[in-house]
Amino acid sequence: MSGRLASEWLTVRVQFVLAAFFVVAGLAKIADPPGFAHEIHNYGLVPGPLVNAMALVLPWLEVITGVALFLGIARRSAARVLGILLIVFIAALSINLWSGKPVDCGCFGVSTVQKTDADRLKEMKLVILRDIGLLLLAGQILHATRREERA
Amino acid sequence: MRSRRPFWVEAAGFLVLALLAAAVSNAVAGPERRLKWIGSYQAKAAAAPVKPTPGAAAAATPSLGAPAGAKAFPPHPDKASADISGEDVVELYSRKTVPFLDARRTSVYRDGHIAGARPFSVWEADVDDKIKAFFAEGTDQSAPIVVYCSGGNCEDSHMLAEKLYLVGFDNVLIYKDGYPDWVQRNMPVTKGSEP
């Protein structure tokens, strides 16, 4: 079972899926930095002076790390960085969900769909589950490439 | 591809590349997409509803363009803004002299805004320049100014009110229910970049 999970065939495909997700999400946010800054501010977790810098850099970090993972360049580090980002996203959503504050995910930039608070809270739960799934993909890459670090 | 570099070196490399890409991308972006690196956002200020005073009180605290006997909206120098209802906004709009500022994104403004309202997106890099220009126009700092966004949980109008308050405007009134309420009331709206 562990051998199949660590197979290169599977790992390459997992790399592709995880990389594609982050590249698409990053590009959507790069298209509208003020909109993403707005979403970050809504979370209420980042100090005001840092909101803009985060809105400018985070999408590019997603894209660059995603491209590196897709091309297999420093893929363990790329998978780790994306894993750390996913843990941060899950924590940010969970904190707001715990306190009952509905926020738009902002994962793919600004949502133009009109939503009720109940819709947002439901969506937050789904996004947390999705991010846990993506975190498992990052974990598969790290598991399959663990020998690379020892080499 | 095997890597002998420690994780933190490669992670720092990704971060430096991201910083450079963000700097270049932000430098070449147009005003609607550009951001200042250091944000100046403040938490939503607690805005108490303002109670308009009818009749004689209006004479004591004259409002710009207020007809005789109209409701007065006195300045509130102790706080950045005060919430007002849709009825009060309609009354202020009818005076035709009260400035209306739209705090939503410029792209949203173009899709439809209160006829005569000016775009002051609080999320775009040129908002401080717009506020300076607005101040330089010599607008009465104690006369009512109506600021709105999308109603509900929208904080953009509160953030814009804070910025206006910091330059000395002490009678910023927030249209609590925002643009959706205006549309629901079948009041005049305009599309495009011009007020």
Q: Quickly tell me which residue has 């509905």 as its tokens.
A: A102
What is the distance in angstroms between the Cα of A64 and the nearest Cα belonging to chain B?
A: 7
Q: Which residues have a Cβ under 8 Å from the Cβ of B132 and sit 6 or more positions away?
A: B167
Average pLDDT over residues A47-56: 94
Model confidence pLDDT, tens digit, residues A80-92: 999 999 999 999 9
Q: For residue B118, what is the enclosing H or E element?
A: strand B118-119
Q: Which residue of B has its CA nearest to A110?
A: B105
Model confidence pLDDT, tens digit, residues B99-154: 999 999 998 899 999 999 999 999 888 898 999 999 999 989 999 999 999 887 78
Query: Are the beta carbons of A75 and B1 separated by less than 8 Å?
Result: yes
CA dist list (Å): A44 to A40, A47, A126, A141, B149: 7, 8, 20, 32, 19
Model confidence pLDDT, tens digit, residues B163-172: 999 999 999 9
Nearest CB to A81: which of B14, B29, B34? Answer: B14
What's the pLDDT band for A145 if we cut at 50, 70, 90?
very high
**How far is Cα A36 from Cα B22, in angstroms, rounded to an integer?**
13
Contact list, B32 vs chain A (CB under 8 Å): 34
DSSP B170: -
Query: Are the beta carbons of B26 and A77 separated by less than 8 Å?
Result: no
Query: Are the beta carbons of B7 and A77 separated by less than 8 Å?
Result: yes
Say yes or no to pLDDT of B72 above 80. yes
With 0-12 / 13-18 / 19 or more C-beta atoms within 10 angstroms meaning exposed / middle / buried, residue A40 is buried
Say yes or no to pLDDT of A111 above 60. yes
Is A61 touching B (CB cutoff 8 A)?
Answer: yes
CA atoms within 13 A of residue A75's CA, in its CB half-sphere: 27
Mean per-residue pLDDT over chain B, rounded: 86
Which ipTM did the prediction report? 0.93
Contact list, A33 vs chain B (CB under 8 Å): 26, 29, 33-35
Q: Which residue of B has its CA nearest to A41?
A: B41
DSSP B67: P
Is B133 touching A (CB cutoff 8 A)?
Answer: no
**How far is Cα B65 from Cα B98, in angstroms, rounded to an integer?**
7
Say yes or no to pLDDT of A114 above 90. no
Contact list, A65 vs chain B (CB under 8 Å): 14
What is the distance in angstroms between the Cα of B45 and the nearest Cα belonging to chain A?
A: 14
Query: Which of these ranges, A9-18, B50-59, B140-149, B165-174, has the smallest mean pLDDT?
Result: B50-59
DSSP B125: T
Query: Are the beta carbons of A57 and B38 separated by less than 8 Å?
Result: no
